[in-house]
Amino acid sequence: MRRRVAAEFLGTFALVFAGTGAIVINQVSGGAITHPGIALTFGFIVLAMVYTFGDVSGAHLNPAVTTAFAGAGRFPWGEVPGYILAQTGGALAASGLLRWLFPASSTLGETLPAGPVLQSAVLEFVLSLLLMLVILNVSTGSKEKGITAGIAVGAVIALEAMFAGPICGASMNPARSLAPALVSGHLEHLWVYLAAPLLGALSAVPLCCLVREQGCCAPATK
């Protein structure tokens, strides 16, 4: 458990540091990275972390993913708090480092609605549902490890960030949104990015069971 928690901490640190760091650096460099570059950064860092830590902790890197795995019977509920604490801690450490590196950044890559709040809430719900549906179908138990798992998960994250990022931020991850909001002190609309990804990921579980009669929502083998 100690190794798995450490892997989740390090993996989520890398995700938030690279992903939100790309947003911050894009702002301070006058748009050098561009929006497609930011989307690809999120996708590539998740791909890399899946292959780095997938066989250790499953490389969830996301409280919504961990909770949905537990809801699907693939992950023990008793280990959920430890994973979420590690993921949140890694995200906070990354945002803290970015605050030190870029003190002039006002939001540190925080996710904020660009339009109506309900619009962003629905987008986050659907994006998280689709992401979790992919994860459930390319993972074994709660382990996102395999020849194609990292590519599939990284690709769907990059795709969703590419088209939905300008409107809702395409967080799909409560830890990724919570950390920059807390460190920057901008907590407005944070509830959208805590609740919608969690509800979306959990909603993917019955849909997976619907299309896969056996093996989707079953306890992981040890």
In the chain, domain spans: 2-211
| pLDDT mean over 128-151 | 82
More reliable by pLDDT, 219 or 116:
116
pLDDT tens across 69-85, in order?
Answer: 999 999 999 999 999 99
Assign 220 a pLDDT band (cuts: 50, 70, 90): very low
Q: What is the pLDDT of residue 139?
A: 84
Q: What is the pLDDT of residue 152?
A: 93
pTM, two decimals, is: 0.93
Q: Considering only the top CATH level, what class is 2-211?
A: mainly alpha
To the nearest 10°, the Cα dihedral for 130, 132, 136, 137? 20
pLDDT over threshold 60, residue 102: yes
Q: What is the pLDDT of residue 141?
A: 67
pLDDT over threshold 50, residue 222: no
pLDDT tens across 111-136, in order?
Answer: 999 999 999 999 999 999 999 999 99
pLDDT tens across 32-53, in order?
Answer: 999 999 999 999 999 999 999 9
**If you write DSSP's letter for every residue of the chain in order, what string do you get?**
-HHHHHHHHHHHHHHHHHHHHHHHHHHHTTSSSHHHHHHHHHHHHHHHHHHHHTTTT----SHHHHHHHHHTTSS-GGGHHHHHHHHHHHHHHHHHHHHHH-TT-SSTT----SS-HHHHHHHHHHHHHHHHHHHHHH-BTTB--STTHHHHHHHHHHHHHHHHHHHH-----HHHHHHHHHHHT--TTHHHHHHHHHHHHHHHHHHHHHH-SSSSSSPPP-
pLDDT over threshold 50, residue 67: yes
| pLDDT mean over 26-32 | 96
